[in-house]
Chains A and B, each alone.
Chain A
């Protein structure tokens, strides 16, 4: 779940040369924006609302994630990875996972990072790491884990701030179309669900007003590594995620968004990779011809 390697706004070679690495670091490159936002949410949420019971579990998740990413990248590719991706994975696990004990945080982070290296096809990983590992933990050990379920207080401002900041940053990293497609799909499906099950529309919409969904919308479904390439297909895939989520919600599944992304995401990725590989094979053939 990383925006780390996203090219983002193109920077010319001349521009790159003229700016010192230090200034470039503090200029808030695209790759640092999501980690910065999520860190901001974490710190502000903890200070104001007690988002976490303690920082130590989140720190454990981050440390495990980064250490394992370094180790596995070195082992498999003999390269040092950029750690922004592992940082977001760790911090996402640290925020989204709830457990009274420490070990699930380490295990969940380890599963997330290892999944990137173990489940690969044509050199790309299929699962969104933190989404995969959180889903796995919920399925395997529900006795020990749950997901984030707190609210942004009972006034509207914290929620609005997160929405605005999240929207601005996803816009800047060119992922806002994914976010807005998901939100509109969610609203539409809420109306449909309300008609099917007879609960009020507001009750169906209620989950999206909470922090868990906001983190899911801004940081999980927008992951460039586990989304398909074209804007059109990104929108179609995220619409399918929302569709799968609605089906799971109809079955009263509390973790519908996580499971929906775990199911639809890898299938979409696999199809995209397969189509790409076919295209690559076709190009030399045409050239030869």
Chain B
């Protein structure tokens, strides 16, 4: 080719023109994309309501919420990378702890000596922090570690939601005494002395009517991050790490005690867990457990009729490409009566494009098995920055589940990035990456900081549209934990976001008029009283949607237990089918819309 005949002048000019055109393609494409988004972002509430059917107003301060998260300060051997290592701990969960019919907010703090807050919903759009008076504030005492999250569940079926507080430190269980006070029952429960945990979920894996508890470790449990014996505490790989914290499965014995059964039941992993969600993913009647791991692949523990778990991540297709799993949420994205699983990961422009995963079950797999395909790209929910918490919810009451993703890792100097140094060590061999002493100092630089959040609305046909800026979500804090709840009992799901070293945000939702909804507040009798694991299918206007009561999902978060369905402009629901964890089935025919229904499991 090099020694070939000299090309004709016209051909040569044509080839050069083609080359220039190719170079111009990305520039032009980018220009038009940006112009379109910027134009829409300038439009206000009225435009968002007309266009997307909802609008958020950040109203934490107006609602009496003045919480600002404080990050942990760990052993001085980690000073050079402190903001990166101490980048977790902001968590939020929603619960009606006093059973007054209004959803309350519990938020964690993570500096030694800092206080957690329990915001009691006063029912008038404002909240009051009652953590100190009920005994849930002063839980980060020096020497006990600091909070990283909390999940609520009525473990003794007395009608009041108890709280399990997980920490980088000593995990704690608090019994709810009639909604007035909490009593620490950790010793009686038999919990381990120290776990560096970032995820926990309540679920009744053996369907005995008593809530069990899964707890996922991040750093190994023999590491006290305030008193390090060695700096070799980091993951041994950016993608295949298996030197993290162990997993725990606590079987509820029914008398306030729990038996740790993880090894016995087949949960035996030391991956660096950051999120877990339990759901019946195969229609067996038993909840399976999906675990999203940092520095590696996700794990799927299939529940073998409550007698054991089998890890089947690879077989199911979710355990192959290693990423940085930071959230695990389930939702019926296509309204086809099946749960899809969303896992958040890291994407940084030009540097690392892991992409988030939307795992959707492949049709036609045999009964009792499941095989997933990652549809995040096809559905347009793949790039979410350094994504942390994510939750599905019908934000505009159009009958399709939307997706809220918060993000941003470490926001320090906005003009200097740590990415170069981070990528340098992250790509290195085990001997290099696993020793914190080898990690270059952060020196005040940001690592995927100041990121714009993602609010993806679902068109129900397999495409999501990103509208965060347009619907009023404009913060750039380092978002961690997202929870959804209808705080004003008016059929609109508000969003509460916990930010690392940042304020707790409450995005109050206004939904366009004419969009109907229905909500269900379930109470188990034969099943666990929290009804965690109950599946609810609503059928309306030829459509259906599946939802479930969860005992924790997303990143260090828990949504309200109440189930919310948006119905669009449909003015009736044909029927609602409830599958209780006990196996009992219940059908509600044509329940009234635009109402919250309190449903008790038939005896």
Contacts of B350 in A (CB 8 A): 138, 142-143, 145-146, 254-255
Q: Tell me if B432 counts as interface (CB < 8 A to partner A).
A: yes
Distance to closest chain A CB from B25 (angstroms): 6
CB closest chain-A residue, reference B13: A118
A155 to B432, CA, bound (A): 12
Contacts of B423 in A (CB 8 A): 149, 207, 254
CB closest chain-A residue, reference B1: A81
Q: What 7 additional pairs, Cβ within 8 angstroms, besides A100-B353, A117-B19?
A: A50-B322, A150-B322, A154-B236, A200-B438, A209-B427, A254-B350, A255-B350
Contacts of B25 in A (CB 8 A): 107
- Select one of A156, A212, A255 contacting B429, CB under 8 A: A156
A204 to B423, CA, bound (A): 11
Of A108-116, A180-188, A215-223, A263-271, the one touching chain B: A108-116
B425 and A151 contacting across the interface, CB-CB below 8 Å: no
Contacts of B438 in A (CB 8 A): 200, 202-203, 206
24 A-B contacts (beta carbon < 8 Å): A5-B2, A76-B7, A76-B15, A100-B355, A104-B26, A107-B26, A115-B19, A118-B16, A141-B29, A142-B351, A143-B350, A146-B348, A146-B350, A149-B352, A154-B241, A199-B421, A199-B441, A204-B424, A206-B429, A207-B424, A210-B428, A212-B427, A252-B419, A254-B350
Distance to closest chain B CB from A159 (angstroms): 7
Contacts of A252 in B (CB 8 A): 417, 419-421
Contacts of A75 in B (CB 8 A): 7, 11, 14-15
Interface string of B220-242 (1 = CB under 8 A from A): 00000000000000001111111
Contacts of A137 in B (CB 8 A): 26
A209 to B427, CA, bound (A): 7
A197 to B445, CA, bound (A): 15
Interface string of A102-144 (1 = CB under 8 A from B): 0010010011001101110001100000000000111011111
A200 to B351, CA, bound (A): 22
B4 and A202 contacting across the interface, CB-CB below 8 Å: no
Contacts of B3 in A (CB 8 A): 123
Contacts of B376 in A (CB 8 A): 100
- Select one of A98, A199, A209 contacting B353, CB under 8 A: A98
B439 and A203 contacting across the interface, CB-CB below 8 Å: yes
CB closest chain-A residue, reference B21: A114
CB closest chain-B residue, reference A200: B438
A141 to B376, CA, bound (A): 20
Contacts of A202 in B (CB 8 A): 428, 431-432, 438
Q: Tell me if A78 counts as interface (CB < 8 A to partner B).
A: yes
Q: Tell me if B433 counts as interface (CB < 8 A to partner A).
A: yes
Q: Tell me if B27 counts as interface (CB < 8 A to partner A).
A: yes
A254 and B420 contacting across the interface, CB-CB below 8 Å: yes
B428 and A110 contacting across the interface, CB-CB below 8 Å: no
CB closest chain-B residue, reference A81: B1
A45 to B322, CA, bound (A): 13
Q: Tell me if A39 counts as interface (CB < 8 A to partner B).
A: no
Q: Tell me if B321 counts as interface (CB < 8 A to partner A).
A: yes
Question: Which A-B residue pairs are the 10 nearest by beta carbons?
Answer: A206-B428, A142-B350, A77-B4, A154-B237, A118-B19, A252-B420, A210-B427, A76-B7, A50-B321, A141-B26
A76 and B238 contacting across the interface, CB-CB below 8 Å: no
Interface string of B332-366 (1 = CB under 8 A from A): 00000000000000011111110100000000000
Interface string of B428-455 (1 = CB under 8 A from A): 1111110001111100000000000000
A136 and B238 contacting across the interface, CB-CB below 8 Å: no
A81 to B3, CA, bound (A): 12
A253 to B16, CA, bound (A): 30
A205 to B429, CA, bound (A): 10
A53 to B297, CA, bound (A): 13
Interface string of B536-562 (1 = CB under 8 A from A): 000000000000000000000000000
Residues of A within 8 A of B (CB): 5, 49-50, 53, 72-73, 75-79, 81, 98-101, 104, 107, 110-111, 114-115, 117-119, 123-124, 136-138, 140-146, 149-151, 153-156, 159, 197-200, 202-207, 209-210, 212, 225, 249, 252-255
A199 to B425, CA, bound (A): 11
A204 to B421, CA, bound (A): 9
A255 to B352, CA, bound (A): 11
Given contacts A114-B22, A252-B417, contact A149 B428 (CB under 8 A): no
Residues of B within 8 A of A (CB): 1-7, 11-12, 14-16, 18-19, 22-23, 25-27, 29-30, 236-242, 320-322, 347-353, 355, 374, 376-377, 382-383, 417, 419-421, 423-433, 437-441
B352 and A123 contacting across the interface, CB-CB below 8 Å: no
A5 to B6, CA, bound (A): 19
CB closest chain-A residue, reference B321: A50
A224 to B237, CA, bound (A): 35
- Select one of B16, B239, B240, B427 contacting A206, CB under 8 A: B427
B429 and A117 contacting across the interface, CB-CB below 8 Å: no
- Select one of A123, A141, A200 contacting B2, CB under 8 A: A123
A79 and B322 contacting across the interface, CB-CB below 8 Å: no
Contacts of A53 in B (CB 8 A): 321, 355, 374
CB closest chain-B residue, reference A50: B321
Distance to closest chain A CB from B272 (angstroms): 13
- Select one of B351, B382, B428, B431 contacting A254, CB under 8 A: B351
Contacts of B377 in A (CB 8 A): 100-101
Contacts of B417 in A (CB 8 A): 252
CB closest chain-B residue, reference A250: B420
Given contacts A50-B320, A204-B424, contact A79 B4 (CB under 8 A): yes
B421 and A203 contacting across the interface, CB-CB below 8 Å: yes
Contacts of A140 in B (CB 8 A): 23, 26-27, 30
Given contacts A78-B4, A146-B351, contact A254 B12 (CB under 8 A): no
Distance to closest chain A CB from B305 (angstroms): 31
Given contacts A77-B5, A115-B19, contact A149 B322 (CB under 8 A): no
Contacts of A207 in B (CB 8 A): 423-424, 427-428
Contacts of A146 in B (CB 8 A): 348-353
A13 to B44, CA, bound (A): 78
Most chain A beta-carbon contacts within 10 A, residue among B25, B242, B353, B376: B353
B432 and A203 contacting across the interface, CB-CB below 8 Å: yes
A159 and B420 contacting across the interface, CB-CB below 8 Å: no
A149 to B6, CA, bound (A): 41
CB closest chain-A residue, reference B14: A75
A144 to B347, CA, bound (A): 10
Most chain B beta-carbon contacts within 10 A, residue among A76, A98, A104, A110: A76
- Select one of B420, B428, B432 contacting A253, CB under 8 A: B420
CB closest chain-A residue, reference B416: A252
Distance to closest chain B CB from A193 (angstroms): 10
